[in-house]
Amino acid sequence: MTIVIDRVAGWRDIARVAEGETLALSQAAWDRVAHASRIVEQIVETGVRAYGINTGVGALSDTVVDRASQSRLSRNIILSHAVGVGELLAPREVRAIIAAQIANFAHGHSGVRPEIVRHLATFLEKGCIPDVPSKGSAGYLTHNAHNALVLIGEGSARVKGDSMSGRDALAAIGLEPLVLGAKEGLSLVNGTACATGLAGVALARAERLLDWADAIAALTLEAAGGQMAAFDAAVLALRPSKGIASVGASLRARLAGSGLISAATGKRTQDALSLRSIPHAHGAARDVFDITALVVDQELASVTDNPAVSGTPEEPIISSEAHAVAPALAQAADSLATALAQISAMSERRMDRLVNPLVSGLPPFLASDAGSNSGLMIAQYTAAALANENRRLAAPASTDGGITSGLQEDFLAHPTAAANKLLALIDNAEYILAIELMAAAQAHEFLVGTASRATGTDAIYKAVRAIVPAYADDRPLSRDIEALRGLIRETAAPAIP
């Protein structure tokens, strides 16, 4: 399916393109791109002084670049800014960045030629994925530059999984290297497309993660004999929150008709907080998710190029501003990271309650033969280690310091670092929830014959057993964890019947 940008793209559009859908512009959007390009052409003709068009960039913004050198300036910006290091971004992350950059150009305030946008759209259509190192952007420049390298026949890329040079990649998809015009080099490295694209991917993964977190928590609650009175709609309404209400409704629906829950009613006055406050922690994360999604959509609705061009070719306006700086995006990604770190820490605590014989009422460590078998004892170690790593990853990137470009850029918002950190934290959270899911399913093996599961939780249990059998210390558990992490990462939680 093709996503068409008319006025504004949303984060779901970016996430869908990241997963393989193609991207196109409406005629109105193409007209805006062409109009802005004509404005830049006129600025070049008249020689009106304009940042990045006929001046240097950053601390060199007062250095005039003659007309003959303006194309070379664009090319040189790409080459000098491509300084990324480390492992390559995943294909879906690169696709998301390209999609967000096209969305930014479609506002019609960048001044790049339509050919630039067509080349980028062809990358998405024909599966050309530039090699983009994951580290190096204090703000936004580095990742974008590595994408742009391939446009000019430099760098390297993968086309349908095959690695090749940038020039060969262009040939493989039927394109020629571009000779950049004035401002195009700056526009290609500028803006918040990198952080916005990565945040769109993170939102898609986080949304699925939160659904699984509710479902897994329900399976754990059932195995632990949770007290459902705490989740009554009227009780939860005493603390107004869209997220709390949503999670409470999900738990009630998922556990409706559970014989195990009925049998446990009144067994305890109240449950431990890792069980009793599921709606509060999961609900808070959902509320933060909604705010983060609004911020990402706001970013996609914004012109994030500097300078911005407007007016007409006859009366061009070139505005040097700071729209490429994205404190709100960095703060939102940091906030969602904190929320998901808390969710994963709570998951580890629930998992520990299932394996801990002091509180579970189940065989020690859910072992089939405790003593000769260790069961899931050490799996809890892994969950604890990952939860601790997530606490470190939850430290905000948006408050990091740094001064670049000879004091010209003496404030850095770090949105790309925040988005990358959020994605790394989601990786860990998926594993932690996979370990809780494994433990909850294992706990149910010892409850067979006690009472029936709810229809909603039985669907979760069956999804687990479709890919991993019950555990009897008969295989390495890491393979089971990877399989269940894949289930959480790539598929939606089973629907509540």
Task: Report the catalytic residues.
Answer: 51
Q: Is 400 exposed, middle or buried (0-12, 13-18, 19+ CB in 10 A)?
A: middle
Integer Cα distance of 262 and 258 in angstroms: 6
Q: Where are the beta strands (DSSP E) in 117-224?
A: 128-130, 133-135, 156-159, 162-165
Cα–Cα dist 372/473, whole Å? 9
**Nearest CA among 97, 91, 109 for reference residue 187:** 109
In the structure encoding, which two tokens stand for residue 29, read together?
């959007």
Q: Name 29's Cβ contacts closer than 8 Å, sequence gap at least 6.
A: 5, 6, 7, 106, 108
Tokens of 5: 């940008």
Q: For residue 419, which amino acid is it?
A: A
CB burial string 260-281: b at 16+ within 10 A, e below: bbeebeeeeeebeebbbbbbbb
Distance (Å, rounded) from C-alpha 468 to C-alpha 58?
55
Q: From CA 94, how far away is CA 129, in angstroms rounded? A: 7
Q: What is the CA radius of gyration of the chain?
A: 26
Identify the H or E element spanning 463.
helix 455-465
Give dist(CA 103, CA 18) in Å, integer.
13
Q: Give residue for tokens 């869908």.
A: 16
- Scan for tokens 């195990």, then name that residue: 260
Q: Which residues pair with 22 in a beta bridge?
A: 2
